[in-house]
Structure 1
Amino acid sequence: MSDDESSPLLSAATKKSKAAANESHASGETTPLLSSTAETPRYDGEQSEPDRDTAASIRSRHSDAAQQQQQKKKKARRWPSFIAMGILGIIVVAIIALAFIVPDAVQEYAKQAAVLEPTNLSLDSITTDGVKARIQANFRLDGSRVQNDHVRRVGRAATWVANQLGTEETRLAVTLPDYDNVLLGSAVVPPLIINLRDGYTTSFDFVTEIAPGDLDGIRAIANEWLDGQLGSLRLRGVTDLTLHSGLIPLGTHNIAESLVFEADKIPSMPAYNITRLNVKDVPAPGDKKSMMAEVSLSAFNEYPVELNIPELAFEILVPGCNDETYIVVADAVTSEVLVKPRADVDVDVHGLINELPESLTRACPNTNSSPLDLLLKQYMHGEPATLYVRGSSIPDGNTPRWIAEILSSVTLPVPFPGRSLDGLIRNFSLTDVHFSLPDPFAEPGDPAANPRVSGNALVTAGLPSEMNFAVNVTRVRATADVSYKSKKMGELNLKKWQAANSTRVEAKKGNEATLKIESRIEEAPLNITDEDVFSDVIQTLMFGGKPVQLDIKAAVDIKVVTALGQLILKDVPAEGKIPVKPFSRGKGSLADLAPKVGSLRILDTSSTSITLQALVNVTNPTLYTAHVPFVNVHVLNNGSVLGEAIVENVDIVKGSNPGILVTAKWEPSMSGQPGQHIGRELISQYLSGFNTSITVKAHHESIPGQPILCDALSRFNLTFPAPKLDLPGDTPEERSHFIRDATFHFFSSTATFTLVSPLHYNTLYVDYVNATALYNHSHPVGRILHHYPFQAPPGKSQTPRLPVEWSVGSVGYDAVRKAIGGKLKLDARAEVDIRLGNWKERLWYEGKGIGASIQL
């Protein structure tokens, strides 16, 4: 920009404006009308109730409610300010330039030495054709500002001689040379007298009528300014100026002068604060309800401008699916605003939303989000959500048409301060928990391919004080990270909507109101991502004997019903804890499981294995229930794998769980010769009634498709007493013995035994017996050696007569002889060959307290 187009007339004013701005609120081109995230809105907490008249007034005008309209109105008023200051500056320079014989030097002197300090600009009145503005300013010539010595000397001499100049009433037209000379406006300037001597100050105080020019041109400049594309603004004033110096007329001259406003000299949007925000339901015609927002704004006016802004109507718009479409969502009216120079300006706005347009809630093409979703997402994450404001196309009847045309054609983007919802949800808990293991037949990616959790979710959410409208939560869904001791364990993914209900709890003792949300979560997939953390949790639950606190951090989608209809709030942050009670009462004790075997059925046999099914009764001592679609575990004893067990499609409830079908395969050869030896010992001890235990352990393929979960579970051995067989009998002692009684025939030296088989559907064969009967635990009675097989069918059965070799002369023999016709309690030690299908095994057996009848 050349020096002759610079704007010294505004330099002092600019400095003062900057000083005022530094003392109060700094503003720039990008300063938002509404406070940004950095400028957290301050709500004073006071609430004024909007009545039916306010809502009806807004509806009748079909005007828009937007908190930021106020700024737009002030913007519209600043164009007369530009015109007024520009007019005054152009006339002063022109007067001096045309008054002298040496116009070039004087003109240069006038441009560099002239200092114009606006002291006040007030709006006297608004007319149907424009505005009447009162302009107050100080003018002086400061020769020290002129750099060229020759120009400075000539200028000072000329102005000292002329002393002062006067003008007649003048009409000035201001155009925009860079916009095809569009007429910005015109003004009538009354007669003025200017003191020309260096250092002397002339005070101006006059009222001028300013009429807007080409409204299309004004709108074009306004839009460039709002878009941040207005680098500078050049004004050109044209007038016929009649001059005189004292009584000496100097004639009438046609002049044209230009002034350039750089971008940093053009007034910017002021910063503001939201001092009050209240949103509530209001009645609407037809027993319906609308929603009204009451907003109070405060901004500092750093300029020497005073004006009264009448009530104005606006439309509030939000971005559509693309940058070129906007959706009208609300009508708003502002209160009358009194603007004082360099003082705070307070504005009250009432906005009314009657309904949500379908275009606002409908998903945009090729996306799953609607314009409303995008707007709420920005707001809830604390980011400024951009709203748009424009004047109503149906303005108030008192609004002049020229103002309405300007405002209705300018769309102003307004960043509305977001509010982070972090901490909005105060508590998140899960009770009555039910676990489901993965379905082995589920396809990859199917939720059923992960462990699943069900339970009653209870959420307590804080309600901001400005939310004073009815809200009902009807559905929820969420994705959540589950952590233990600050380490992420897995992800809980509830993609399907779950039914919910909510209850508002009113504020008490200064606390804010809360919303209690209850929902039943069904089959939420839990994806274990860290097996180490999961192992720590399982270990604590199984052996720690104390509760575990799991931390949950979730992004929750919430369906809410309001007076405007149903809304979806997406990705609401939520944090909470899930207390998990221990699986066992005592440290490391799982005796409360109390497993007991009912009926047994042999499904298949081989030379080294038996595949069987059993109905097992167990007791669930925990507070949790579970569904087990499929799980395969190894059965161990003394560290050797002896077989495997499979459970399918089982629901574990609290307390007693009878008749759980378990498929097991007994195959000690899986661990080689040591395993076979351990297997024989275990069965022998078990059949003999010894206290035995087995260990159940998960392995890499326990749950198909869940290697992380399986590896975590495989770190733990679940050891408990071997399940007791449920044999027929009247007493617990009878139900624990395979040999119920025996009959010894003294003269024939034979014996028969009553056997009770644990198998309900299969016949067991005894191929070989080598047994010794004992009296009083240590005195031999006789020996049975039998090499021929016999059957042990299901239930009770009698063995054939087995030969007995009496231990003649022993204490045991004498006891038997004396008990002929009576009974004795005998013990037995035996080695037997057992055959079941293709499976054969030699076992040992020890029985005590067997009731034996002694017959001749």
Structure 2
Amino acid sequence: MSDSETTPFLAALSSPKAADPDARVMDEQSESTPLLSSSATRRYDGENDDVRDETASVAAGETDAVSVKSTKDRSIPKPSLIAVIVLSLFALGIMIGAFFVPAAVEEYAKQAIVLEPTNLSLVSITTNGVRARIQANFRLDAQRVENEHVRRVGKTATWLVGSIGTEDTRINVYLPDYDNILLGSAAVPSMDVSIANGQNNAVDFVADLIPGDAEGIRTIANEWLEGRLDTVRVLGKADIQLRAGMIPLGTHSIAESLTLEGHDMPQLPAYNITKLNFKEIPVLERSTSHAERWAMGVEVTIKAFNEYPISVDIPELGFEILVPGCGTNDAPIVIASAITHRTSVKSRSEVAVDADGVVDKLPEPLTRACPNSNSSPLDLLFAKFLGNETTTVLVRGRQKPGGDTPAWLADVLSSITVPVPFPGRSFENMIRDFSLTDVHFKMPDPAAEPDDPESNPRVSGTIRVIAGLPAEMNFSLNVTNVRANADVFYKKDKLGELNLKEWQQANSTQFPATDGGEATLKIQSRIVDAPLNVTDADVMTDVIAALLFGGKGVELDINALVDVQVQTVLGGIVVKGVPAEGKIPVKPLGKNLPGLAEPKVGNIEILDTTPDSISLRALVNITNPTPYTAHIPFISIRFEKNGTTLGEAQAENLDLGLGNNTNIPVFARWNPILGGKKDGPKVGRELISQYLSGYNTTITIRTHAGTIPSLPSLGASLSRLNFTLDAPKLSLPGKSEDDKTHFIRDATFHLWSSTAQFTLVSPLKKNMLYIEHVNATALYNHTEVIGTIVYDLPFAAPPGESKTPRLPVAWDLDSVGYDKVEEALGGRMKLDARAVVGVRLGRWREKVWYWGRGIGAAVRL
């Protein structure tokens, strides 16, 4: 038998040509054509001549042929003759439909075929692959064929055949663009379908799907997951045994290529993480079956909608959870293992996948700082998550998942890494309460340059934070250290920056959720000398003004990025860049802070004098009415009266505690010409006169650019504020409070000698004050003149209490006041005195007026 004689469906029959040797030769040479063309690229252009030519060429080139062997001549009975004729006519129809117009029928089939998958479900997962039940609707729709001639020929041919069947078939799918690696194969059982136009076939069969080369699956899957798969070309190959009813049509090799565009390929479904719970779980040691240590457990539920007609029961699967390394070229880092529960996936319905994960320990590469960086992969992961940004974790199947997972499935899953976007979390409402107590301010070193970091004031205090814990965090944690970079705002305007570069020791207390509330974490830390960089001096001025004159406290807003050292079951973790927002309530300083301070001046020591100025040192007692303490290395304040600068006061290394602060050394310089105004000396003279006379005098203190030398802008901005306070009271020797406020303590009048001697009390402790001339009038009852005193010889008023020389008195003998003096002879009386006095202190000289009231005077002969 020749190679071409392989088609069986006429092999047992004789034909008229079989008796003719020439015909037999012709059969062997030319009657060789397939039942169905396997060409996948032929096209029909609608021209009859071309069809005949193409059909002839195909018939001439095919290798599978029908060969009818002749038998010896014999007579044919009439019934047999009729049967042969009928069979020959049927064969002729088959040859016309299957041999002469294969291209047209093929084109018709390609365009008319309608395949509608209705369901794909997994019957079972086997050791070699998957047994799947495939349900679909199959039909030929002639209306889909555009060419009229192809449609007519196709409808006729399929009507003649009626139905077609296949035997058990194995289909192999290859990837031509990837070295023809085998993607997978499917074992399809035999089936029969009607190919008449419009006849619907409900196809329902079970097929065994076997995966191919794992490396090939990994390559194409990863390219698809990474978005680099624009197109993919697959090639299906199969040897199909066809039959028309009971008539075999031979075996045909089919190769069909299909190119899928990116938008045609299935996409990962959108999903929601509906449950995320972190908790501590015991790790059982095999040797003892007891919990020797603890690990971090994670419970996750993910829900997604399956929009495809696919149903499958997924067994327990093991996975590894990875996070990216430092760079794109670094291998991802395995941080956890996870097992999914058995999951039932229904077609076109919501799917819930439950998984349990375990973080046994933190691998060293996860916490090691990246090259040329201070951040580790864990820091980068937390930064995105806590910043409400989507992070990406990687999910990969475990090579040895255990359980009943088939080895082939583990191989496939372990070769595929799926990037899973993990939504971040907003921590805007995490801080429930933020307070700063026991605040201590430390002003900058006056020698620091304005741009030097040492020029910033420093803040110490106790920070107390109440933070709400996310519901997902059901494990114990302890904050041991904190550091932060914080922006401070007042009414949405940035005041400055609080920079805690160094770790500050902290402790925390965790409170579990009760009565449906949330769990909270109380964190307490004592910050020491945290630099406060005032970036806007005008805003600081507004804050101080509100505290001084507003009558109530203010709230400063804090926006911070906090680094936290936390102890967990996994050990110590540094969480960097935790966004924190809160408010710092600042208590009011009082509407009259200088007045509440009640400054008192004592122990005055003159350091230097000029004709226009006095430099002195004094010990001052003040009261700090605020809840804050401060250390001030240097401060300079100018004092003025009615807008005229009269001098300047300075203090160094000033430590202000709560409540009373005594014996604070203050350096002052009286210099009425400091402000450059011509009326300065006159205003100064009037102020001294009122002060010495016991009037309720006030002075105004004001900052200037040199108040804090390293912060000139702050001092200049604060100069917009003025603080008016009573002139500090002098602390003079005396038994009563009334005595301590009078410079002239006592007087003695001598009637016969017409002289008067006064007891003076000088506030100076080491310096001599000189009275150069006196022009005074003594009064009774504020109005009645007793006499006058004019004395031009200078005399000294040493420190402490002293007596003046006997000063001559010119009595007004006709006045009522003199009568009262005579009546008080041998006793005492109260009198007033008005005087213009020339005083000298070193090189400084001034003429002041004085009005003394209620001076006790003794009257002697």
Structure 1 residues 8-23: aligned runs within 5 Å = none
User: Does 1:322 pair with 2:298?
Assistant: no
Structure 2 partner of 1:414: 420
Amino acid aligned to 1:455: G
CA distance in 2 between partners of 1:158 and 1:509 (Å): 78
Structure 1 residues 142-541: aligned runs within 5 Å = 142-284=141-283, 285=285, 287-325=292-330, 326-396=332-402, 398-444=404-450, 448-541=454-547
User: Does 1:632 pair with 2:646?
Assistant: no
CA contact (8 A) 2:448 2:710 kept: no
Q: Which has the higher contact order (CA 8 A, sep 6+)?
A: 1
Amino acid aligned to 1:256: A
Structure 2 partner of 1:622: 626
1:294-349 per-position Cα deviation (integer Å, ceiling 9, x unaligned): 11222222222232222121111011110122111101111122222223322211
Q: Which moved more, 1:327-336 or 1:788-797?
A: 788-797
Structure 1: 4+ residue segments shifted above 6 A: 3-6, 95-98
Structure 1 partner of 2:59: none
Amino acid aligned to 2:836: E
CA distance in 2 between partners of 1:673 and 1:198 (Å): 117
CA contact (8 A) 2:137 2:202 kept: yes
Structure 1 residues 783-798: aligned runs within 5 Å = 783-798=788-803
Structure 2 partner of 1:829: 834
Amino acid aligned to 1:142: D
Q: Closer, same or farther in 2 for the Cα pair 1:754/1:119, shift >3 Å? A: same
| SS of match in other structure, 1:317 | strand
User: Does 1:643 pair with 2:642?
Assistant: no
CA distance in 2 between partners of 1:846 and 1:668 (Å): 23
Q: Closer, same or farther in 2 for the Cα pair 1:183/1:606, shift >3 Å? A: same
Q: Closer, same or farther in 2 for the Cα pair 1:673/1:231, shift >3 Å? A: closer
User: Does 1:684 pair with 2:720?
Assistant: no
Q: Which moved more, 1:226-235 or 1:129-138?
A: 129-138
| SS of match in other structure, 1:672 | coil
1:568-625 per-position Cα deviation (integer Å, ceiling 9, x unaligned): 33343433333333322xx558533221111111111111111111111112233333
Amino acid aligned to 1:606: T
Structure 1 partner of 2:69: none
Q: Closer, same or farther in 2 for the Cα pair 1:102/1:460, shift >3 Å? A: same
CA distance in 1 between partners of 2:318 and 2:609 (Å): 90
Structure 1 residues 558-573: aligned runs within 5 Å = 558-573=564-579
Structure 1 residues 79-94: aligned runs within 5 Å = none
CA contact (8 A) 1:311 1:334 kept: yes
Aligned-pair CA distance for 1:142: 1.2
CA distance in 2 between partners of 1:672 and 1:116 (Å): 103
Aligned-pair CA distance for 1:642: 0.4
CA distance in 2 between partners of 1:785 and 1:443 (Å): 57
Amino acid aligned to 1:413: P
Structure 1 partner of 2:657: 653
CA contact (8 A) 2:326 2:376 kept: yes
Amino acid aligned to 2:626: T
Task: Name the TM-score, length of structure 2 as normaliser.
Answer: 0.83
CA distance in 1 between partners of 2:516 and 2:453 (Å): 44
| SS of match in other structure, 1:477 | strand
Structure 1 partner of 2:24: none
Amino acid aligned to 2:664: I
1:134-155 per-position Cα deviation (integer Å, ceiling 9, x unaligned): 3332221111111111211111
| SS of match in other structure, 1:269 | coil
Count of residue correspondences: 764
1:71-115 per-position Cα deviation (integer Å, ceiling 9, x unaligned): xxxxxxxxxxxxxxxxxxxxxxxx999954422222211111111
| SS of match in other structure, 1:669 | coil
Amino acid aligned to 2:578: V
| SS of match in other structure, 1:569 | strand
User: Does 1:701 pair with 2:706?
Assistant: yes
Aligned-pair CA distance for 1:414: 0.7
Gaps (5+ residues) in structure 1? 7-94
Q: Closer, same or farther in 2 for the Cα pair 1:814/1:337, shift >3 Å? A: closer
User: Does 1:740 pair with 2:757?
Assistant: no
1:467-497 per-position Cα deviation (integer Å, ceiling 9, x unaligned): 1111222233334444444444444444433
CA contact (8 A) 2:450 2:711 kept: no
CA contact (8 A) 1:462 1:513 kept: yes
CA distance in 1 between partners of 2:40 and 2:661 (Å): 98
CA contact (8 A) 1:97 1:110 kept: no
Structure 2 partner of 1:35: none
Q: Closer, same or farther in 2 for the Cα pair 1:252/1:752, shift >3 Å? A: same
CA distance in 2 between partners of 1:589 and 1:331 (Å): 64
Aligned-pair CA distance for 1:819: 5.3
Task: Name the TM-score, length of structure 1 as normaliser.
Answer: 0.84
Q: Which moved more, 1:456-465 or 1:466-475?
A: 456-465
Amino acid aligned to 1:683: I
CA distance in 1 between partners of 2:196 and 2:748 (Å): 148
RMSD: 2.8
Percent identity, aligned pairs only?
A: 59
| SS of match in other structure, 1:187 | strand
CA contact (8 A) 2:482 2:505 kept: yes
Aligned-pair CA distance for 1:821: 4.9
Q: Which moved more, 1:326-335 or 1:653-662?
A: 653-662
Of 694, 711, 717, the match for 2:716: 711
CA contact (8 A) 1:539 1:716 kept: yes
Structure 2 partner of 1:612: 616
CA distance in 1 between partners of 2:538 and 2:216 (Å): 70
CA distance in 2 between partners of 1:704 and 1:648 (Å): 12
1:643-681 per-position Cα deviation (integer Å, ceiling 9, x unaligned): 011122222223212112111110012243311011111
Q: Closer, same or farther in 2 for the Cα pair 1:659/1:4, shift >3 Å? A: farther
CA contact (8 A) 1:96 1:106 kept: no
Structure 2 partner of 1:21: none
Aligned-pair CA distance for 1:754: 2.6
CA distance in 2 between partners of 1:223 and 1:97 (Å): 50
Amino acid aligned to 2:506: A
Aligned-pair CA distance for 1:371: 1.2
Q: Which moved more, 1:207-216 or 1:818-827?
A: 818-827
Of 573, 595, 606, the match for 1:602: 606
CA distance in 1 between partners of 2:392 and 2:95 (Å): 49
Aligned-pair CA distance for 1:747: 4.6
CA contact (8 A) 1:301 1:345 kept: yes
User: Does 1:591 pair with 2:595?
Assistant: yes
1:403-423 per-position Cα deviation (integer Å, ceiling 9, x unaligned): 222222222111012221221
Q: Which moved more, 1:607-616 or 1:530-539?
A: 530-539
CA distance in 2 between partners of 1:581 and 1:339 (Å): 61
Q: Closer, same or farther in 2 for the Cα pair 1:693/1:229, shift >3 Å? A: same
CA contact (8 A) 1:97 1:106 kept: no
CA contact (8 A) 1:97 1:107 kept: no
Aligned-pair CA distance for 1:199: 1.2
Structure 2 partner of 1:543: 549
CA distance in 1 between partners of 2:434 and 2:776 (Å): 67
Structure 2 partner of 1:720: 725
Q: Closer, same or farther in 2 for the Cα pair 1:721/1:424, shift >3 Å? A: same
CA distance in 1 between partners of 2:735 and 2:196 (Å): 132
CA contact (8 A) 1:543 1:589 kept: no
Aligned-pair CA distance for 1:174: 1.9
Amino acid aligned to 2:643: G
Rg larger in structure: 2
Aligned-pair CA distance for 1:504: 2.3
Structure 2 partner of 1:758: 763
Amino acid aligned to 2:773: Y
CA distance in 1 between partners of 2:402 and 2:273 (Å): 25
Q: Closer, same or farther in 2 for the Cα pair 1:624/1:607, shift >3 Å? A: same
